[in-house]
Chain A
Amino acid sequence: MNFKLRIWRQADSKSNGKLVEYSISDVNPDMSFLEMMDVLNDRLVKEGQEPVAFDHDCREGICGMCSMYINGRAHGPMKLSTTCQLYMRNFEDGETITIEPFRSAAFPVIKDLSVDRTAFDRIIAAGGYVGVSTGQAQDANAIPIEKHHADMAMDAAACIGCGACVAACKNSSAMLFVSAKVSHLALLPQGQAERKTRVLNMVEQMDEEGFGSCTNTYACEAECPKGISVTNIARLNREYIKASFSGD
C-alpha cells in the first residue's frame, strides 16, 4: 500500500510546528501504524534527516504511551483502539493521512508527535491511590464486595491514562480520566477511607493543570480506546458535590 503522510514536525515546545509531507510506499497492510512510522523513520535516518519523534512502549494496547491525532481522531479512525493496535489495512490505498500530536495546553509538545502528559501523573499523585496502611495482602475473599460494583470498578480501572479523552474534547477536559480513577477507588471498599479528600484533591489538581471544563459532548467516551463510560463523569460530579457539601 502507498500513502501520503502529512506529519506535524516541531523541534521543541517553544518552536512553531508545521505539517510536513512524506510519501511512503510498499507498506504491508498488516503493519501496525507504529510499524509504518518505524519504516518511515528508518528511511529518514538513512537519508540523513531527523526521524519523527513519537511516544510508544508496550505496543499491545495497554500501556497508554502511544498517542497521535490521526485524520482528526485521537488514536485514528478505529473504535476502541490505541494507535499501536491500528493497522494499515484500516486505511485506503493511496490515502492522505494527517498525523498531529494530542493538543492541549496541559500537554505541551516535547517534540513532533510526542507530548508531555505528566499532568496526569500529578493528578494521580494528588490522590489517585490508597494512602492508608492496609497491612499485608489478605485473602481477596475476605473483603466483601458486590459483583456489580466490582465490575464497574474494573471497567473504570481499564483506563490506561493515554489522554485521548483530553485530545478529543473540544475543551481539552480531563474529566473522563479523572472520573475513571475516582470511580475505580470510590466503588471499592479499599477506597472508602480517603473517598472525600481524594476527589477534592484530584479535581483541584486537574483545574490547576489547565485542563478545560466538561461540557458533556461525550467525545471522550467515543474516542476512548478502553471504552470508559461517561457515567463515570456523572459519578465524579456526584462524588465532588457530595464531598464539597459534606458536613464532616
Chain B
Amino acid sequence: MNWFGKFLTSSIGRKFVMGLTGIALVLFLIVHCGINALIFVNDGGVLFNEAAHFMGTNIIIRTMEIGLFVGILLHIVQAYMLAVANSKARPGKYQVNSANANSRWYSRSMTLLGTLILLFLIIHLKHFWVVSRFTGLEETSYGAGNLYIEMQEVFAIGWVVIVYLIGVISLAWHLLHGFQSAFQTFGWNTLKYRGLIKCAGKVYAILIPLLFALMPVAMYFEWIK
C-alpha cells in the first residue's frame, strides 16, 4: 500500500477524515444558518427567497453542493465503520463502569447523536431540498421558487417543529464535542490554543443550533410572517 493509502486506513488517518469532513460541515452550517437567518428580516421572505434562488442556481454553489454530499457521506460511513471497529476492541464489557466519573456523556455518545442527526437530515432533505430541486416550489413574482412559503407550510405542523427541535438539540451536543475534537485530531490542540478552541467550540455549538431552533419556532408561533 502506498503512503497515502496507509495514512487513510490508519486509526489516526481515519479520524483525520472524520475531523476534516466535520469541519467542512461546520463551515457549511455557518453559510446555511446565515442565509436562513434572513427570514428574521421579516419582509415576507423577499430577501430570503432571493438568497435561496442564488444558492440554488449559481453554478459554483451547485458544484460545491456535490462536494458537501460527498463530505456528509464520508463522515457518516467512516463514523459507523469506526464505531464497529471500536466496539470490537472491547469484546467483554465491564459489569460495573463509572464512565461519568472520567468523561462527558455526549463525548461518548457521538454515534447515537450522529444517528439522530442523520434521521433528522433525511426528513429535512425531504422537506426542503427534494422539493426545491425536484418536485418544485410555488413561484415568486419574478419566477423563482418560493422557499419561504414552503417553510411556513412545513413549520405550521406541530410535530414537525418538535422533530426539528430534537434534530438541532442533537446537533448542539454533537458539535459541543465534535468541534474541539476535530482540532485535537489535527494536532492543533496545544496548551497555547486549547482555551481558544474550547471557547470557540462552545460558542459555535450553542449559537448556531439556537438560531436554527428559532426558525421553526418563530414560524410556528407566527412571530415572523
Residues of A within 8 A of B (CB): 6, 8, 19, 69, 71-73, 77, 98, 100, 103-106, 109, 168, 170-173, 175, 203-204, 206-207, 210-219, 222-223, 230-231, 233-241, 244-245
26 A-B residue pairs with Cβ-Cβ distance under 8 Å, sorted by A, are A6-B95, A71-B96, A72-B96, A72-B98, A73-B98, A73-B101, A103-B94, A172-B90, A173-B89, A203-B10, A203-B12, A207-B10, A213-B82, A213-B85, A213-B86, A215-B82, A215-B110, A218-B103, A219-B99, A230-B189, A231-B194, A233-B184, A234-B188, A237-B12, A237-B187, A239-B187
Provide the bound-state CA to CA distance between A56 and B90, in Å.
23
- Verify if B133 is at the interface (C-beta below 8 Å from A): no
Which residues from A are CB-within-8-Å of B6?
204, 244
Give Cα A88 to B186, complex, Å. 42
Tell which of A71, A210, A237 touches B186, judged by Cβ atoms closer than 8 Å.
Answer: A237
- Is B141 interfacial (CB 8 A cutoff)? no
Identify the B interface with A (CB < 8 A).
3-4, 6-7, 10-16, 82, 85-86, 88-99, 101-104, 107-108, 110, 177, 180-181, 184-191, 194
A-B contact count (CB 8 A): 146
A210 to chain B, nearest CB (A): 6
- On chain B, the residues within 8 Å of A211 by CB distance are 11, 89
* Residue in chain B with minimal CB distance to A224: B102
B104 touching A105 by the CB < 8 A rule? no
Closest approach, in angstroms, between the C-beta of A97 and any C-beta of chain B?
A: 10
* Residue contact B10 to A240, C-beta cutoff 8 Å: yes
Among B4, B101, B107, B186, the residue within 8 A (CB) of A72 is: B101
Seed contacts A100-B95, A222-B101; 17 additional CB < 8 Å A-B pairs: A8-B95, A72-B96, A72-B98, A73-B98, A100-B94, A173-B89, A204-B10, A212-B85, A215-B15, A216-B180, A218-B107, A230-B189, A234-B184, A234-B190, A235-B187, A237-B12, A240-B10
CA distance A210 to B11 in the complex (A): 10
B215 CB, nearest partner CB in chain A, Å: 30
Q: Which residue of A lies closest to B183 (CB)?
A: A234
Residue A244 contacts which of B7, B91, B181 (CB distance < 8 angstroms)? B7
Q: Is A216 a contact partner of B13 (Cβ separation < 8 A)?
A: no
Measured CB to CB, the nearest residue on chain B to A239 is B187
Contact present for A104 and B89 (CB under 8 Å): yes
Chain B residues whose CB sits within 8 angstroms of the CB of A241 once the complex forms = 7, 12, 16, 186-187
Closest chain A residue to B97, Cβ basis: A72
- Whether B185 pairs with A237 at a CB distance below 8 angstroms is yes
Q: Is the CB of B98 within 8 A of A103?
A: no
B95 contacts A212, CB within 8 Å? Answer: no
Which residues of B are found within 8 Å of A234, using beta-carbon distances? 184, 187-190
Bound-state Cα–Cα, A6 to B96, Å:
10
Q: How far is the CA of A222 from the CA of B107 in the complex (A)?
A: 14
Q: Answer whether A213 and B98 are a contact pair too, CB < 8 Å, given A105-B89, A241-B16.
A: no
Asked if B92 contacts A103 (CB within 8 A), the reply is yes
State the CA gap A100–B97 with chains docked (Å).
10
CB < 8 Å neighbour of A212 from B86, B177, B181: B86
**Chain A nearest Cβ from B1, distance in angstroms:** 11
CA of A19 to CA of B95, assembled, Å? 9
A171 CA to B91 CA, complexed, in Å: 10
A183 to chain B: closest CB distance in Å? 11
The 10 closest A-B CB pairs, nearest first, are A238-B187, A72-B98, A212-B89, A222-B102, A171-B86, A212-B86, A237-B187, A213-B11, A172-B89, A217-B103
Q: Are A168 and B102 in contact (CB-based, < 8 A)?
A: yes
